[in-house]
Structure 1
Amino acid sequence: MSVKPKLTVYLCAPRGFCAGVVRAIDAVEEALRIYGAPVYVRHEIVHNKYVVEGLKAKGAIFVEELDEVPNTAQPVIFSAHGVPKDIPAEAESRNIFAIDATCPLVTKVHREAELHHRQGRQVLLVGHAGHPEVVGTLGQLPPGSIVLVQTLADIADLELADEGKLAYVTQTTLSIDDTRCMVDALKRRFPKIVGPHREDICYATTNRQEAVKRVAPTVDAMLVVGSANSSNSQRLKEVAERSGCKLARLVLRASDVEWELFDDITSLAITAGASAPEILVEEIMDAFALRFDLSIETVSTADEGVFFPLPRELRSPAGSAA
């Protein structure tokens, strides 16, 4: 019997589900409990294929647009990423029973953008084009009232009618360092620009990136557990690479691990995006335990005790009366 090579695994903490993701998943499961299947969900409730497939098996039907939803009395849930204002309006026009599971921290960004608009400011949004959170935030204001900036070149090229009346908001799942660089550039170019009272990048994104920064320079490899379409998971991989980790990979589950890359490592860090369930971290740990003699340590940078209540349509007594 061959002796397994030794491997020290550093588990980053916090990792995995944030309060907004827990709330969104719980909303779908509670709607299924109260109203029965099917429950329709516009867009993936969170960006994790394992979670989505699990909810499908329980009776959730995922659609990209409301026109895919038949005329029904069953609930339609909006994902944690938020939606443009025309989506709830369309739901109301069709008498659709809509439940909004937008993360409260995303809603905070929406409210900030609306407030700046009412105060006569042009709003600049720092984010990634096409991401559903960005689509939702852009859709909070009339066309032309909010401008997306993705790069420093975008900021340099901006031509605005009144540079003295500007504000900015940001996507909640960006790289902390990239966002700081973008915000600094905005402030240099537009000294009077107004920012949020508290930064828009969510606590979970910040905490997970800080844990990765601490451990990434010290290990041979880093695994980020999460889906390829998860913005916060992709940012964790980028942060690991920028922090000096020579081998960083984003994997959904153990079957995605490229084992030949890990033959000669003696230290490994593991984290998980905010939409990745702990069961997938455990699955990957078990797979490494089959191949290595593991020594496990935890690297913790913050304690999270954040809780968001369910959407009001799913809280008792309204839910229990349904």
Structure 2
Amino acid sequence: MTKQPLTLYLAAPRGFCAGVDRAIKIVEMAIGKWGAPVYVRHEIVHNKYVVDDLRAKGAVFVETLEECPDDRPVIFSAHGVPKAVPAEAARREMVYVDATCPLVSKVHIEAARHHEAGLQIVMIGHAGHPETIGTMGQLPEGAVLLVETPEDVATLEVRDADELAYVTQTTLSIDDTAGIVAALRARFPSIRGPHKEDICYATTNRQEAVKAMAPHVDAILVVGAPNSSNSRRLVEVGARAGCSYAQLVQRAGDIDWRALDGIRSLGLTAGASAPEVLVNEVIETVQARYDVTVTEIETATENVEFKVPRILREPA
């Protein structure tokens, strides 16, 4: 049977960012240095394939420090943790490694600096996301107010409208965040923002690539986990940028082929915590069904690399 022709547009950049790459490397190096098991507080990054792979190598994933024994190393996830967590690990004299993405740590430092200057902080982020919990947990309870939408800004009760600063989660939609920032500036004209945008380069680049790809395709597949903020934002960005159908899939087996029936062009990208092996898996599955012509749409090149913590570079 003759396969239907399909143009497959690959977004670039896609997949792993420098923070995710560093976090995975930290777990692997810790297992190499101290042997298994090594404990990891929360999923190191939001991707089941990555977590399962590290679990097979000797990582034990837990949600609280209380689940970790004192005599084994513990790693804090790339999303960051409240200040109380490393403080408790130090009190218990545990060996711990902080895999917080340096760009998330930058937001932590910004928030602390504003707090020391006497400003109340407004955080733009998603309630309950580990990164939001970690950033708000850098300061005393009540020091940071959370907003998720422009509507939240309208009901915000602040201490002093002239003494405010805002920070953002690093994995948000650029366009959504711009709307919330505009609402904040309209209501609080003297509010201070970051010197450089908090939304990280990888989130920005992946969203821009999807925006460039969306007008050319009938549908978009985003490889990523349902609990991955940046992956979910890519689905939303694709839909808003003119693509009539965008779908989040963890693996090739999750693709809803009925929804793709009759398409002639398909866009493919991956969230910052999704490995390229899963992208290749999707490409091979699509090639099995269609006569595929692959075209890459590249909007930026990335050469960022973050060093692993010194404790892992020193001999055991």
Indicate the residue corresponding to 2:125 in structure 1: 127
CA deviation map 1:153-199 (0-9, x unaligned): 21001121211110000000000000001111111111100000000
Residue 263 of structure 1: how far off its partner (Å): 2.4
Q: Which residue number in structure 2 is paired with residue 252 of structure 1? A: 250
Report SS of the residue matched to 2:54.
helix
Q: Of 110, 113, 124, which aligns to 1:112?
A: 110
Q: Calculate the TM-score normalised by the size of structure 1.
A: 0.97
Unaligned runs of 5+ in 2: none
Q: Which amino acid aligns with 1:65?
A: T
Post-superposition Cα deviations, 1:83-110, rounded to whole Å, max 9, x if no partner, equal 0000001111111111000000000000
Deviating 4+ runs (over 3 angstroms): none
RMSD between superposed Cα atoms in Å: 0.7
| Deviations 1:255-294 (CA, angstroms, capped at 9, x unpaired) | 1011122221110000000000000000000001110010
SS at match of 1:54: helix
Q: Does 1:242 align with 2:240?
A: yes
Partner in structure 1 of residue 12 of structure 2: 13
Alpha-carbon distance in structure 2 between the residues aligned to 1:232 and 1:209 = 9
Partner amino acid, structure 1, of 2:220: M
Aligned residue number for residue 224 of structure 1: 222
The aligned counterpart of 1:36 is 35
CA distance in 1, matches of 2:159, 2:65: 36
**2:32 maps to amino acid:** R
Look up the match of 1:266: 264
How many angstroms apart in 1 are the aligned matches of 2:168 and 2:156? 17
Q: How does 1:1-322 map to 2 (within 5 A)?
A: 2-72=1-71, 74-315=72-313, 318=314, 321-322=315-316
| Same amino acid, percent of matched pairs | 62
Distance 2:128 2:120 in 1: 21
CA-to-partner distance for each residue in 1:200-219, whole Å, 9 max, x for gaps?
Answer: 00000000000001111221
SS in 2 for 1:299: strand
**Offset of residue 10 of structure 1:** 0.4
For normalisation by structure 2, the TM-score amounts to 0.99
Give the number of aligned pairs: 316
Deviations 1:133-154 (A, max 9, x none): 0000010001111111111121
The one-letter amino acid paired with 2:60 is: I
Q: SS state of the match for residue 6, structure 2? A: strand
